């Protein structure tokens, strides 16, 4: 099996159009809805990540863009041109799959040049393109080696070279780093990002790993249960998630359920587990008595360690019972539960001398007014 699906002619037209446009896309497998109502536009030269939990529909979307499967409804446009009728090898895309099954009996150079050779390119041209691709992924000194003489990361780079040598302008990467160990994965993430900047083509990268997504992405789309939940720049998705799902999937957020006590004005009051919290309405429509969700990132929550000497409630803090602290090296996570049983986490830079509260004692968790976020769905 070849890893890279070589994909054909580049007869794409509109240079002003987005590289990829997905309109009202749905994919059903019998009764099962794998994707529904997906709309997304990806700019030329953008590093775009499809992030989400397993089974959410990321690979289905990627494969539909690549032409490996047909949508049930909707359409895919590449550079402004509808490609529903085009098979994978006639689209301006190349695909990098999860596992790297390289041809074991061929050298790195031969593996990379295979697609071009099959396409009938003259030998000299193949050699020239292969040399350029190997240079781009930093594998020039390894050109004569066989795959078994390479590390996992190097094999992965051969795979990338096999894809970029084809000169397609949209690279589809399906969990490209999944087979690598954690450290290599981190290193390769940066390499991928730099490679994309160097070659300047559009990368669409599927992963369920948020750190990987944040490292490489210009923009991230979050996909779950077959729907595109939210998309935006990595820092916006992280710092200002619109949807509760985004808050619970990206970063370590405390998600609190509450009921609106006072909906008037730009700041509203929400009752959460016996405390009255104040939160910016952000122009969202809410009414008294409505159930809403609030989120606060764990690193924005401070733990008041002074037992018994609580500061007065100010709308930006909540009381609970201290459970325990988990030392994580750089940071320590303090676990607290609220009177309604909700678990909260305060993550602080680890301090080896810190005095921790007694288990079960009352503590106060507090945050800056701008760090709490309202979600209405």
Backbone phi and psi for residue 10, each to the nearest 5 degrees, phi listed first: -105, 85
Q: Does 56 bind ligand ATP (CB under 6 A)?
A: yes
Neighbours of 315 (CB within 10 A): 15
According to CB under 6 A, which one of 14, 37, 55, 187 is a site residue for ligand ATP? 55
Q: Which helix (H) or strand (E) holds 110?
A: helix 108-118
Q: Which whole-number Å values give the CA distances from 250 to 157, 209, 222, 275, 298, in the listed order?
A: 28, 10, 9, 26, 12
**Residues within window 208-267 making contact with ligand ATP, judged by CB under 6 A:** 208
Stretch that binds ligand ATP, among 4-12, 56-64, 138-146, 165-173 (CB under 6 A): 56-64
According to CB under 6 A, which one of 60, 156, 253, 295 is a site residue for ligand ATP? 60
DSSP-assigned beta bridge partners for residue 205 = 49, 173
Q: Does 176 bind ligand ATP (CB under 6 A)?
A: no
CB of 57 to ligand ATP, least distance (A): 4
Stretch that binds ligand ATP, among 50-58, 85-93, 187-195, 313-321 (CB under 6 A): 50-58
Contacts of residue 183, defined as CB under 8 A and 6 or more positions apart, other chains included, come to none
CB of 101 to ligand ATP, least distance (A): 17
The site map against ligand ATP for 12-41 (x = CB under 6 A) is -----------------x--x-x-------
Nearer of residues 209 and 319 to ligand ATP, judged by Cβ: 209
CB of 54 to ligand ATP, least distance (A): 3
Neighbours of 251 (CB within 10 A): 17
Find the radius of gyration of the CA atoms of the chain: 25
CB of 367 to ligand ATP, least distance (A): 33
According to CB under 6 A, which one of 58, 129, 347, 375 is a site residue for ligand ATP? 58
Give yes or no for a contact between 278 and 343, defined as CB atoms under 8 angstroms apart.
no
How many residues form the binding site for ligand ATP (CB under 6 A)?
Answer: 12
Backbone phi and psi for residue 248, each to the nearest 5 degrees, phi listed first: -80, -20
End-to-end CA distance of the chain: 45
The site map against ligand ATP for 184-213 (x = CB under 6 A) is ------------------------x-----
* 57 backbone φψ class: left, alpha, beta (φ>0; ψ -120 to 50): left
Closest of 166, 174, 158, 179 to residue 103, by C-alpha: 158
Contacts of residue 62, defined as CB under 8 A and 6 or more positions apart, other chains included, come to 50, 95, 172, 174, 204, 206
Nearer of residues 58 and 91 to ligand ATP, judged by Cβ: 58
Nearer of residues 27 and 243 to ligand ATP, judged by Cβ: 27
Backbone phi and psi for residue 12, each to the nearest 5 degrees, phi listed first: -70, 155
Q: Does 95 bind ligand ATP (CB under 6 A)?
A: no
CB of 36 to ligand ATP, least distance (A): 11
CB of 157 to ligand ATP, least distance (A): 22
312, burial (CB in 10 Å: exposed 0-12, middle 13-18, buried 19+):
exposed
Stretch that binds ligand ATP, among 40-48, 58-66, 210-218, 228-236 (CB under 6 A): 58-66
Give the separation between CA 153 and CA 191, rounded to whole angstroms: 10
Stretch that binds ligand ATP, among 55-63, 260-268, 311-319, 327-335 (CB under 6 A): 55-63
Binding site for ligand ATP (CB under 6 A): 29, 32, 34, 52, 54-60, 208
């Amino acid at each position: 099996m070849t890893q890279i699906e070589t994909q054909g002619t580049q007869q794409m037209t509109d240079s002003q159009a987005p590289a990829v446009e997905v309109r009202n896309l749905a994919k059903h497998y019998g009764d099962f809805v794998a994707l529904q109502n997906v709309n997304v536009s990806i700019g030329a030269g953008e590093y775009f990540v499809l992030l989400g939990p397993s089974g959410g529909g990321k690979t289905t979307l990627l494969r539909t863009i690549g032409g490996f499967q047909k949508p049930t409804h909707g359409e895919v446009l590449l550079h402004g041109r509808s490609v529903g009728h085009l098979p994978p090898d006639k689209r301006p895309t190349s695909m990098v799959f999860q596992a790297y099954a390289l041809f074991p009996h061929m050298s790195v150079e031969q593996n990379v040049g295979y697609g071009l050779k099959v396409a009938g390119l003259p030998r000299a041209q193949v050699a020239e393109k292969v040399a350029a691709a190997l240079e781009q992924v930093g594998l020039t000194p390894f050109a004569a080696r066989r795959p078994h003489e390479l590390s996992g990361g190097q094999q992965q780079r051969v795979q990338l070279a096999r894809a970029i040598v084809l000169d397609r302008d949209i690279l589809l990467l399906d969990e490209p780093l999944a087979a690598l160990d954690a450290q290599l994965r981190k290193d390769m993430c940066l390499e991928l990002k730099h490679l994309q900047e160097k070659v300047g083509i559009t990368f669409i990268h599927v992963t369920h790993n948020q750190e990987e997504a944040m490292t490489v992405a210009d923009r991230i789309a979050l996909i779950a249960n077959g729907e595109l939940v939210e998309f935006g720049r990595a820092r916006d998705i992280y710092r200002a998630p619109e949807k509760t799902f985004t808050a619970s999937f990206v970063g370590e957020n405390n998600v609190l359920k509450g009921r609106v006590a006072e909906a008037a004005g730009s700041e509203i009051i929400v009752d959460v587990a016996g405390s009255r919290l104040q939160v910016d309405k952000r122009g969202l429509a809410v009414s008294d008595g409505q159930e809403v969700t609030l989120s606060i990132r764990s690193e924005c929550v401070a733990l008041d360690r002074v037992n018994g000497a609580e500061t007065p409630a100010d709308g930006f803090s909540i009381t609970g019972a201290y459970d325990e602290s988990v030392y994580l090296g750089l940071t320590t996570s303090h676990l607290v539960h609220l009177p309604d049983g909700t678990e909260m986490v305060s993550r602080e830079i680890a301090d080896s001398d810190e005095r921790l509260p007694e288990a079960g004692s009352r503590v106060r968790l507090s945050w800056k007014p701008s760090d709490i976020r309202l979600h209405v769905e």
